[in-house]
Homo-oligomer: A and B are copies of this chain.
Amino acid sequence: MRNFPIAKSRRLRSTPYTDRIEAHGVSAYTVYNHMLLPASFKSLEFDYEHLKNYVQVWDVAAERQVEISGKDSAKLVQLMTCRDLSNSKVGKCYYAPLIDNQGLLVNDPIINKLAEDRWWLSIADSDVIFFAKGLAAGKKFEVEIKEPDVNILAVQGPLADDLMSKLFGERIRQLKFFNFSYFDFKGHTHFIARSGWSKQSGFEIYVENSLAGQDLYDYLFEVGKEFNVRPGCPNLIERIEGALLSYGNDFDNRDNPFEANFDKYINLDSEINFLGKEELKKINQSGIKRKLRGVKIEHNKIDMYCEKTLFDDNNNIIGSVRSATYSPTFKKIIGIAMINKPYWNMKDQFRIEIDEKIHVGTVCDLPFI
């Protein structure tokens, strides 16, 4: 892959931690919610091994918050997702696909319930704020919708609890998965959730005071020395192994939530009112014609700029890979692919062209690990 520099500008927003991660050796960026998101430090494979064994601090400020508050806020949030939030509780995080009127996916945020009338949607890479604003204006809802200046630091890896308890006290070890609470450090109170875009466990600190966040970043590295802390970021290898889906990569606004395996977050039988409910009922009755599956390919290198088509032995298209990487654990390429029916249960090998050569692979279950 040839390297092309990113042309920085105000439009590709820096974060409060950008100077720090550049001093710490960030080696590539992606852009996510109009903001710089680090994509690698030492190397994808080095970062991957380190993440699975120690603890990393991530600048994931690009996970922007859409704050929805006011009298009709619960109604608006529910209207945007097929997940039933009627029994949702303050202090909990809800992974929830957002759906448009046609039953197609808009985003897959974590919805944090801050109060009965105040929510933070911690979003993937699409402008949910304008979806919410459009809908609220159309419905004449009494809500306030804004993007607060929240810049998340994630602390991820098996030693995350050890590092975080040094700063925030032993109580943080008791925080349950997809719960959040408030913790103090050096005179500042931080919203901290047990969550994060890795399967190695850890926390996300929703930093509301940028200066306090920069201090926190520095302390995490100072205190983290004994745990071999390093800077990191969502890691392509680790996230594909764990099948953490990425909006824009694995699914987008042309896909419905059944195709993206979101079945357990689709509550068609409840009384709740959400966009696309009738469309999703129709899709559920008629059945889907393709869905996301894993693929393993017998090769050691793949560059993914766009979908790559998969063929069977008779040159029928069976689907296409959307994300893929070489996995040092599996010693082959692993990927997430949209596979057509009935090929999604295919046992035979498929064929794929990589760098002008044909390679073979197989369809498999997700996640890989």
The residues of A with any CB-CB pair to B shorter than 8 Å are 1-14, 18, 22, 26-31, 34, 39-40, 100-101, 106, 125-139, 147, 246-249, 253, 275, 303-307, 322-323
Contact of A9 among B10, B138, B249 (CB under 8 A): B249
* A4-B147 Cα distance, complex, nearest whole Å: 27
- Residues in B with CB closer than 8 Å to A247 are 11
Q: For residue A270, give the distance in angstroms from its CB to the closest CB of chain B.
A: 19
> Are A137 and B100 neighbours in the complex by a CB distance under 8 Å?
yes
The contact sample of 10 A-B pairs, CB cut-off 8 A, is A3-B5, A4-B5, A4-B29, A6-B30, A10-B249, A12-B31, A101-B137, A133-B134, A136-B138, A137-B275
Q: How many identical chains are in the complex?
A: 2
Q: With A135-B138, A305-B18 given, is the CB distance from A248 to B11 under 8 Å?
A: yes
* A2-B248 Cα distance, complex, nearest whole Å: 28
Q: For residue A31, give the distance in angstroms from its CB to the closest CB of chain B.
A: 4
Q: For residue A40, give the distance in angstroms from its CB to the closest CB of chain B.
A: 7
Q: With A12-B30, A30-B12, A127-B126 given, is the CB distance from A40 to B7 under 8 Å?
A: yes
Contact of A131 among B12, B133, B323 (CB under 8 A): B133
> Are B137 and A305 neighbours in the complex by a CB distance under 8 Å?
no
Residue in chain B with minimal CB distance to A135: B134
